[in-house]
Amino acid sequence: MRRITLLRTGLSAVLLLGTWATASALPASAADAPARSAQAPASPALLDAMQRDLGLTRQQAVTRLAAEKTATAVEPKARSAAGSAYAGSWFDADRGRLTVAVTTAARADAVRATGASVRVVRHSAAQLDATKKRLDALSAPDGVGSWHVDAKANTVVVNVVTAHRDDNDVRSFLDRARKAGPVTVRHTAAAPRTFAAGTVGGDPYYTGNVRCSIGFSVHGGFVTAGHCGRPSAAVYGWDRSYIGNFQGSSFPGDDYAWVNVGSGWWTVPVVLGWGTVPDQLVRGSAEAPVGASICRSGSTTHWHCGTVLAKNETVNYSQGAVYQMTKTSVCAEPGDSGGSFISGDQAQGVTSGGWGNCSSGGETWHQPVNEILNRYGLRLHTA
């Protein structure tokens, strides 16, 4: 049967080539599964992955997702209550609450009234963002991996590859960086790289000699990573049939793209589990806070989970810097580029790159999905 064949192929994300009766049909594992209650935070697949990768019990995973959903809703209210004293926020997994940093105790009660915990710090988010912007204007050497605002540490963190920390050009960059504002240097094991891969058979989508993973369905197509293809490049599915073309693509500077869908293909609001785990329905794109759990789905390594480590990080790839990225502790490997980052049932972003692998561990960055939608005027396809 066609839909069973499709699930066994390992299609990476949210498009299916089909001969089903209607374009609104869902894949078997989504359409035939028992209906979940409105309160259920995630599919069994996502809960299983959180248990495996975060060392949680099933109940702990359910409880954490519920707390993260609350924190996501509280964050904009707390930011508004903090006003100009706002200095960033993060999800405290141990306490199950959002923590908001402020520069004056006078705003603490108003922030607490929203349901958040409060920490008083020295530098505001505006000051830290201004420091990061000054660093973005600098030319970084290969030994500098990335930099981002760390609200919890109340500083801008510059990540230097350990093997290059004594390089003269790295030292020179750090000297200039420290003059820009509050900066802390940390060391990382390896330099970031993108996760595209050469062509191999039976995988999700191809363009030229590159294999990448589909991110999320939008009305009219899907979003993915910009480094996977240039505008107008043809895109082919797992069976080498024509899907569409890159309608927009940006890399470096950004790492996002979108592909139109036609020729017998259509979009559905799911992240597939390749027939080994149930599929995850996509219900929205509310952005999870730093510290929240997050899972990634890609055509090479399938489901893996971790936590959000940082937002608005500048990543210094060999091809050039990419801005406004989100860093996570989730692993990835070549071929996972463009794939889905999801928190609960909320779309977060498309896989860009990272370092390490899913055997020894590592870190990855994703391009936030809401930025892609806004850039191209797209509408996320949701369940």
Active site (catalytic) residues? 227, 255, 337
Token code pair at residue 102: 């402020």
Is the Cβ–Cβ distance between 363 and 329 less than 8 Å?
yes
How many C-beta atoms lie closer than 10 Å to residue 360's C-beta? 8
- Crossing angle (nearest 10°) for helices 44-54 and 58-82: 90
How many C-beta atoms lie closer than 10 Å to residue 180's C-beta? 17
Give the integer Cα–Cα distance in Å for 239 and 227: 22
Is the Cβ–Cβ distance between 285 and 373 less than 8 Å?
yes
β-strand partners of 298: 302
For β-strands 97-102 and 117-120, DSSP reports them as parallel
Give the integer Cα–Cα distance in Å for 120 and 108: 8
Residues, the chain: 383
Token code pair at residue 246: 């890159």
